[in-house]
Structure formats: structure tokens, C-alpha cells
Chain A
Amino acid sequence: MAVTALGSTEVVRPSVRRRRLEDERWLALVLLMPTAILLGLFIAYPFFEGVMLSLSSARVGDPGEFVWFKNFVKLWHDSIFWTAVWNTFWYTAVTTVFKLGLGLWLALLLNRHFRGKAIVRAFVLLPFIIPTVLSTFAWKWMFDPTFSVINWSLFKLGLISARINWLGDADLAMTSIMIVNIWRGVPFFAISLLAGLQTISPELNEAAAIDGARPWNRFWYVTWPLLLPVTMVVMLFSVIQTFADFQLVYVMTGGGPANATHLFATYAYQIGIVSGLLSEGAAVSLAMFPFLFVIVVAQLLYIRRVEVR
């Protein structure tokens, strides 16, 4: 229906066209067209190709044949894959909690009046705007077992007596990567939550204060519920980005030591590109989709509920 109608709008006289645009449905169609074309071309088709790839036995330069879910079955028995799954969840959960906590705290601080407010607000955004690959190289050097400036500082402060092997130890390597992700993410959370805070009229808080509510209660019963919708939206975007993170791990550890830091995306890359097993790499990438989908739908539903309330 839509397609034929589109064809006819082009030949009808202007007055008819204008009348058509008065109809919400036609207007919507026109407005959505550019998005639909771009996304259809550059996402829908490649996505379809990607799905087909994951169901085949393709290697680089060899289209292979259709094998149904063989690749996924193989993944199910792949210990490294499950490490990557676990890592991704752990990575996403921990960093999101910290980004939210610290970001909220920073937003509350930035929401107060002090001199140089504008400049501080602009500066704390820096970690978010520098290209990830490049800032990660800087961090990599700060974590370098031989040159770590962090070790130097902790040592001089008397907090440690021997160096910390940031990227060499399996658990610490994960922690180090999380630290960098949190460092990158906090400014985004802070600024977005700050925007949310500014929609809350100060009178509400003052009224609560006059009623004798303690600061913590004021936050918990007045500010937080009002901030919840924006928090959820910000978290949604952050979770998606973190879950599919690639650059950071790729630069910091390449998934090592001993596969301890692989995420979905880096493992997919390792299999698909480095080993040339395109189909299996696509399967790993695609396996991320349902997980992400469930998380996101849950969040979206929650947002709806919060909004309705």
C-alpha cells in the first residue's frame, strides 16, 4: 500500500499533495522516509547478510554452505565463548553501577552554584570526547607494568610496597579495563543527569526542607523519583555501548592474558577476522543480540512504567 501511494504522490497536483501532507499518516510516511532509506540500506541488508553468514560455514573467500545452527552449537561447547559471555555481563554490570553512582554524584555537585561552573562542566566532559582508541593508549601506558605512573603514585603515598601488575593478572586486567570504561562514561552520565536535575524545580526541595526532611530523604523521596526517567534513558544507551564495547579491550589487552578479558565483540573479531572463520565470528556477534535485546526490552518496559507513573 505504502509503495504505490508513494509513487502517486509524485504525479498528483500540488494541492492534492498538500492535502496528503495534512493527513498524519502521509506526513509520517514522508518524514520517516529518509531514515527508512538510510537504515534500510546500511543496516537491514547488512544485518540480513550477517544472519545468513552466521548460518553458513563461510570462511574468508569461501562462501561455504548453509549449515543451520551448527556454528551456534559449536559456540555452546566453547569454553572461551562462555568466558566472554560472563565477562561481558560482569563488565557491563559493574561499570554501569559505578558510572551511575559516580555520575549522579558528580551531577549533584555540578548542579550547585560555584565560581567557574561553566568551565568545570566543559572540562569534565573531556574524557568522553577524546577518541577512545587514543585515550586508551594513554591509559595503557599508565598501566604499563614497568612504567606505571599509578604505581609510582601509590608507592610514594605509601599505599603499596610492590608494583601492581595491572594488565598481567587476569582479574586485575578486567578491573583495569573497567576503570577506563568508567572514566570514559562518568562524564556522559554526569552531564545528562545534570540536565535531568535542572528540570526539577528547586521549590520542591525547599518545600521538603521546610517540612523538615533530611537531605538524604529529600534526595530519595523528591529528587530521585523525578530523575528516574532520564536515568533510565541514559543507562539504556550506556548499557548498549558497554555491552558491545570493542575498541577499549582490543587496545588494552587484545583479550588476553589467556582469554581472561574477551568480550563478545573482541572474541567475534578474534574468530571472524584474525582466524578467518567469518561464519563463526558472525555467530558470536549475533549471539550478543538476544542478550542485549532482553536487557533493552526490560529497560524499555521499565521506562514506560516509570513514565506512566
Chain B
Amino acid sequence: MIEGALWRRWAFSYLPLILFVVVLLFPFYWMIITTFRPDGELYRPWNAPNNMPFWTTKPTLEHIIYLFEETSFARWMFNTMFIAAISTLISLFCGVLAGYALARLNFPWAGSLGTLIFITYLVPQTLLFIPLAEIIRDFRLGDTPWSLILTYPTFLIPFCTWLMMGYFKAIPKELEECARIDGASRWKAMAYIIIPIAVPGILSSGIIAFTLSWNEFIYALVFLSSPDQKTVAVGVTSELIRGDVFFWGSLMAGALLGSVPVAIVYSFFVEHYVSGLTGSVKG
């Protein structure tokens, strides 16, 4: 009853699934093709008779070589990863502690504090970046990775806190109470009993936080100025778009290679990610 005939399985599962995968991944295929396509083929109008949008007969590595030789792409990759990793760790640290407090401790205004933290997530970046530039200057962080490492948590912490709140709420109160009867302090109960259980949740909010900081553009554009300090998104757009000339091949190569590290992280963690979210959504 649950699994139908073969044609039904195809019509209702496989076909739609294939369709989803094709549509979602098509732009990536397009990037790959563009990366390896010689410039001459790039400039063929869509209705040209010799247009072969889905294939290239003369693949070339020149765009990738250009990317690595003429720009500091490798350096940008490192910067982006470094910034994303540290700011994610900071946000997780804050988010886990705050989430724990808001979800499992009784204190006045717990509810409104939670809402307040959430509201900070609503403040638009376009409003913040100019006043933030002043703070960055006062702390003398301009043009250092720390200008981003310290500002990215502003949109990561609310997110992590809320996800972790959900996760912590789902863990039965009895666990802690048992530990405390055994003589553990409240602090120990949290650090050694509850937080380890929450690891999947921490992982999944960490992954999302990492992605969000990987994606950020405005702060990175405004706070960094040395070519060697830039992140992938800013570096690629500022060096491979020259006025009205796009270096399409290298641009796409940069986009593609720029998403590879995160893709690898995801492919390792996707199952944890799902189970982590599972925990937090139960709450």
C-alpha cells in the first residue's frame, strides 16, 4: 500500500526529484561550462546558428589560470574561510550560552529578552553599516579581518540563539535534575550534561552561521580596503568586473571555486545538519 507500482514511483518520486535536481543545479552546470569556455564562444547570441550553450568543443584553462595568477584569489579564499570560521565560533559560543539561559533558566524578563535578541536580527544592514564604520574606526579595526569577525556575529548570534533555544527546550528537564541530585553544580550540569547532548544542534546552527558569513557582502566591501584582505565575494567582483567588461570565465571560476569549501563542509555534515535541526524543531 505504501509503495505503489513502478510507474507511480517514477511519476511521483523520481521524476519530480530529477526535475528538482536539474533545475537547482543547472546554474552550476552553467558556471562550469562558462569557466572552461574560450572567450570567442562566450559571445554568441542565443539565436546564433552555431550556438551550443550546453557544451564546448575547445575547453580552456585560461580563465582559471588568470584567476590564480592575476588576482589574489587563493588569499581571498583563505581570508573568507578564516573570517567565517572565527565569527561562527564566536557566535556559537554566545548563541549556545544565551540559548541555554533563555530556554532552561527561570529569570525575570526571559521571554522579552529572547524577543529583544530576535528583534536585533530585524535591523537592516543598510541602516547599520555607516554607524558601524565609526565603531570600526574607534577600535582601529579597519582593514583587518577583525572588523568582520566582530560585526558578523550581529546577525549570526540572534539566529544561533533562537535555533539553540529550540534545541535546548526539547531536552527533558529531568536530565539536569538527575545530575544535580548526584551533586553536580548547575554550571557543571550545563557544561557536561546538556551541552554535549546539544552537539547536533550546535553543528547545524554552526553550518548555517558559516554560510551566512560566507555570503556577506556590504560589510566586507566597506570595512576592508587592501587587496590582500578582501573576501571572495568582494575580491572577485572588484577585480573581475572592469567597468563595462566582465571577465566572465574567471568570474564564474571564482564563483564556483568559492563555493567548493562550503560544499565540502556540507557534504560531510548534511546528515548531522538534518538531525541537528530535527532536535531543535522538536521544541
Which residue of A31, A133, A237 contacts B233 across the interface (Cβ within 8 Å)? A133
**Does A172 belong to the interface (CB within 8 Å)?**
no
Interface size on B, residues (CB 8 A): 102
CB-based nearest A residue for B80: A131
The answer to whether A35 touches B161, judged by C-beta atoms less than 8 angstroms apart, is: yes
Provide the residues of chain B in CB contact with A187, threshold 8 Å: 24
Q: Is A163 an interface residue (CB 8 A)?
A: yes
A129/B214 contact (C-beta < 8 A), A24-B106, A46-B135, A49-B131 known: yes
Q: Considering residues A114, A146, A195, A237, which has the most beta carbons from chain B within 10 angstroms of its beta carbon?
A: A195
Q: Is B132 an interface residue (CB 8 A)?
A: yes
A74 at the interface (CB under 8 A from B): no
Which residues of A lie under 8 Å from residue B243 when comparing CB positions? none
Query: Nearest Cβ distance between residue A203 and chain B, in whole angstroms?
Result: 12
A293 to B118 alpha-carbon distance, docked (Å): 11
Closest Cβ of chain A to B276, distance in Å, is 8
| Contact present for B233 and A137 (CB under 8 Å) | no
From the candidates B51, B127, B154, B248, name the one contacting A285 in the complex (CB within 8 A): B127
A124 touching B127 in the complex, CB below 8 Å, given contacts A114-B13, A191-B274: no
Please, how many angstroms separate the alpha-carbon atoms of A130 and B26 in the complex? Answer: 13
**Residue on A with the closest CB to B42?**
A147
Q: Are the CB atoms of B110 and A142 closer together than 8 Å?
A: no
In the complex, which residues of chain B have a beta carbon less than 8 angstroms from the beta carbon of A198? 274-275, 278
Q: How far is the CA of A102 from the CA of B17 in the complex (A)?
A: 11
In the complex, chain A residues 182-220 whose Cβ is within 8 Å of any chain B Cβ: 183, 186-187, 191-192, 194-196, 198-199, 206, 209
Q: Per-residue CB proximity of B31-56 to A under 8 Å, as 1/0?
A: 10010000000011111000101100
Q: Is B215 an interface residue (CB 8 A)?
A: yes
- Please name all residues of chain A whose beta carbon is closer than 8 Å to the beta carbon of B113 when the two chains form the complex: 32
Q: Which of A33-57 contact B (CB under 8 A)?
A: 34-35, 38-39, 41-47, 49-50, 53
State whether A38 touches B25 (Cβ < 8 A): no
Indicate if the CB atoms of A35 and B157 lie closer than 8 Å: yes
Interface status of A112 (Cβ within 8 A of chain B): yes
Q: Chain B: interface secondary structure?
A: helix
Q: Which partner residue on chain B sits nearest A147 by CB separation? A: B46
Please give the distance in Å from A271's CB to the nearest CB on chain B: 10
Q: Given the complex, which residues of B lie within 8 Å of A93, measured CB to CB?
A: none
Q: Which of B208-225 contact A (CB under 8 A)?
A: 211, 214-215, 217-218
Taking a contact as CB atoms closer than 8 A, the residue among A21, A105, A247 that contacts B16 in the complex is A105
Q: B128: CB under 8 A from chain A?
A: yes
Among B1, B24, B255, B267, the most chain A Cβ lie within 10 Å of the Cβ of B24
A132 in contact with B215 given A39-B117, A196-B278, A265-B126 (CB within 8 Å)? yes
Interface residues of B in 227-261 (CB under 8 A from A): 232-233, 236-237, 246, 248, 251-252, 254-255, 258-259
Interface size class of A (residues with CB under 8 A): 35 or more
- Whole-angstrom distance between the Cβ of B250 and the nearest chain A Cβ: 12
Instruction: Given A21-B187, A35-B98, answer yes or no on A122-B21 (Cβ-Cβ < 8 Å).
Output: no
Per-residue B-contact encoding for A109-120, CB less than 8 Å = 1, 0 else: 110101000111
Interface string of B4-41 (1 = CB under 8 A from A): 00000000011011001101110110110010000000
Q: How far is the CA of A269 from the CA of B218 in the complex (A)?
A: 11
B122 touches A296 (CB 8 A): yes
Chain B contacts to A: CB under 8 angstroms: 1-2, 13-14, 16-17, 20-21, 23-25, 27-28, 30-31, 34, 43-47, 51, 53-54, 90, 93-95, 97-98, 100-102, 105-108, 110, 113, 115, 117-128, 130-132, 134-135, 150-151, 153-154, 157-159, 161-162, 166, 185-187, 204, 211, 214-215, 217-218, 232-233, 236-237, 246, 248, 251-252, 254-255, 258-259, 262-263, 266-267, 270-271, 273-278, 281-282
16 sampled A-B residue pairs with Cβ under 8 A: A28-B101, A35-B95, A39-B120, A45-B135, A47-B120, A114-B14, A114-B17, A118-B267, A129-B211, A129-B262, A130-B255, A131-B215, A137-B252, A187-B24, A191-B270, A268-B126
